Amino acid sequence: MHLIYAAATEAAPESTNEDHAAGGDGWALVLDGAGRYPGRSGGCIHPVAWVVERLGTRLGSHLTQWPEQPLTAIVRSAVEATMADHGPTCDLSDPLSPGATAAVVRLRDGLLEWLVIGDCAVVVDQGEGGITSVIDDRVDHLPDAPVVEGRVRTYSPDYVATVRNRPGGFWVLGAVPAAAEHALTGSLPLHAITQVLLCTDGISRLTERYEWSWADVLALSEANGPEALIRAVRNAERDDPNPQRWRGKRHDDATVVVLRVSQVNA
């Protein structure tokens, strides 16, 4: 039994891609850069894409080096290593320091294990057994969250500073190792799984904004590959009659990884 990996990623038009996708022997991940807020440094001199790339590299190498470690321990160690990479130029105690949301899956002991934190998603297709979606939507259920109406509707940075990486708020990876223990984790037997999809919220907006089902998403990627999902998102965004109604940008970086589970031994 093994996993066949396919991925696609695309920056929002006219911007730098702050998403990241990777896969190795029995694992895969996606990351989505979180922060930074206009006018705020977040205590860090590094671009968000740098933080995302460091986290992705550390996660990939730790997943490969330590296959017996729990996923939470691997994620914690990757955050700690990334924090060390910043060096003395950065004050990582700033609650708005740049980081990333993440979805990680791994094949171990006949199970597919996942870890999801922030607004990335893992979607598990069990064929006749249905679809299991794992989405960390705590950021959408914050108490008394003020939405600021600007060019982009968003939460006010002062408010985010009080709920980011705090109990009762929401968690992202980057500057707080304990965030790993607040991720959503779980597993399912691999033998019943036909495919697994990991994506950033630039893709999951098909379901959140544009009324797609996860079955629709899986069917399109199965028929035409992961790139087709990015084209579908861009079409939906372009045709959106009122993108101002959403919290967040009209276009976002969009990244998707699809793992097809081959029940034949490689």
Contacting residues toward Zn ion, per CB under 5 A? 44, 46, 86, 90
The alpha carbon of residue 106 and the mean position of all alpha carbons in its chain are separated, in whole angstroms, by: 15
Q: How far is the CB of 89 from Zn ion (least distance, A)?
A: 6
The alpha carbon of residue 75 and the mean position of all alpha carbons in its chain are separated, in whole angstroms, by: 13
Which is nearer to Zn ion, 89 or 242 (by Cβ)?
Answer: 89
Which is nearer to Zn ion, 86 or 251 (by Cβ)?
Answer: 86
Q: How far is the CB of 52 from Zn ion (least distance, A)?
A: 12
**What are the beta bridge partners of residue 170?**
164
Q: How far is the CB of 57 from Zn ion (least distance, A)?
A: 15
Q: How far is the CB of 35 from Zn ion (least distance, A)?
A: 11
Q: How far is the CB of 86 from Zn ion (least distance, A)?
A: 4
Which is nearer to Zn ion, 43 or 248 (by Cβ)?
Answer: 43
Which is nearer to Zn ion, 52 or 233 (by Cβ)?
Answer: 52
* Cβ neighbours for 182, distance < 8 A, ≥ 6 positions apart: 117, 167, 171
Only one residue has tokens 């708005």, namely 96
Angle subtended at Cα 121 by Cα 190 and Cα 175, rounded to the nearest 5 degrees: 115
* Cβ neighbours for 50, distance < 8 A, ≥ 6 positions apart: none
Phi and psi at residue 189, to the nearest 5°:
-60, 130
Which is nearer to Zn ion, 6 or 81 (by Cβ)?
Answer: 81
